[in-house]
Amino acid sequence: MRYLTFALTKGRLAKKTMDLFRRVGITCQEMEDPDSRKLIFTNEELGLRFFLAKGPDVPTYVEYGAADIGIVGKDTIMEEQRKLYEVMDLGFGKCRMCVCGPASAQELLRHQELIRVATKYPNIAKDYFYNKKHQTVEIIKLNGSIELAPIVGLSEVIVDIVETGTTLRENGLSVLEEICPLSARVVVNQVSMRMENERITGLLKELKKALE
């Protein structure tokens, strides 16, 4: 039997994913060791392989078939625009993609001013401002701590993930517009979906049952 390979998003999402997999009998002893720096794990009996990757790389591994299945946030799927099938919403990792900033930026948004938007998600920001709002903006790509941008005057607003809202609150910012809800999704390589259809659909059915 060929290994089915899973690409998991390193960090919190991987932990929640393994919790769910454990409930359907998919365990991976090796992965439980918190001190391990190992990147790939196998379950020989079930013919499964798991590896941990940075979120934005998960859709890449899946598109090229280096992983058959990926577990990744909807934000990353939207941003990366890879060719793959999004087959299931796992319902955890829930948060929202939002336009945020100081309250004073509300007016700039309303009047369609040419503002600067800092974000880790330039494609999502572009799609939202250009295609949905028909507002011309300047998009500035950052790699983290996006909330800094409006505080130090790099941009008027940001497009970022809001989970609890704590980061915004503690930095004097708030949600100005909501773009879309987010959560963890299962994505599948398009060829794997055909070649391994029975195994993959069987697995998805079990996951769905465990989530109910």
Interface with ligand PRP: number of residues (CB under 6 A): 13
Greatest CA separation for the chain: 61
Among 56, 123, 165, 177, binds ligand PRP (CB under 6 A): 165
Please report how close the Cβ of residue 19 comes to ligand PRP at its closest, in angstroms: 19
Task: Choose the stretch contacting ligand PRP; rule: CB under 6 A; options: 23-31, 80-88, 108-116, 156-164.
Answer: 156-164
Helix (H) or strand (E) holding 88: strand 85-89
| Position among 34, 107, 131, 144 found at the interface with ligand PRP (CB under 6 A) | 144
Contact between 25 and ligand PRP per CB under 6 A: no
Please give the structure tokens belonging to residue 12: 């919190």
Quote the least distance from Cβ 61 to ligand PRP, whole Å. 20
Q: DSSP of 141-200, one letter per residue? A: E--S-TTHHHHHTS-SEEEEEESSSHHHHHTT-EEEEEEEEE-EEEEE-HHHHHHTHHHH
Residue 113 makes contact with ligand PRP by CB under 6 A: no
Find the binder of ligand PRP among 60, 135, 167, 174 (CB under 6 A): 167
Q: Does residue 29 touch ligand PRP according to CB under 6 A?
A: no
DSSP 8-class letter at 30: G
- CB of 60 vs ligand PRP, minimal distance in Å: 19
Cβ-count burial 60-83 (b if 16+ within 10 Å, e if not): bbbbeeebbbbbbbbbbbbbbebe
Residue of closest CB approach to ligand PRP: 144
Side-chain half-sphere exposure of 118, counting CA atoms within 13 A:
17
Residue numbers of the site for ligand PRP (CB under 6 A)?
Answer: 120, 144-147, 160-167
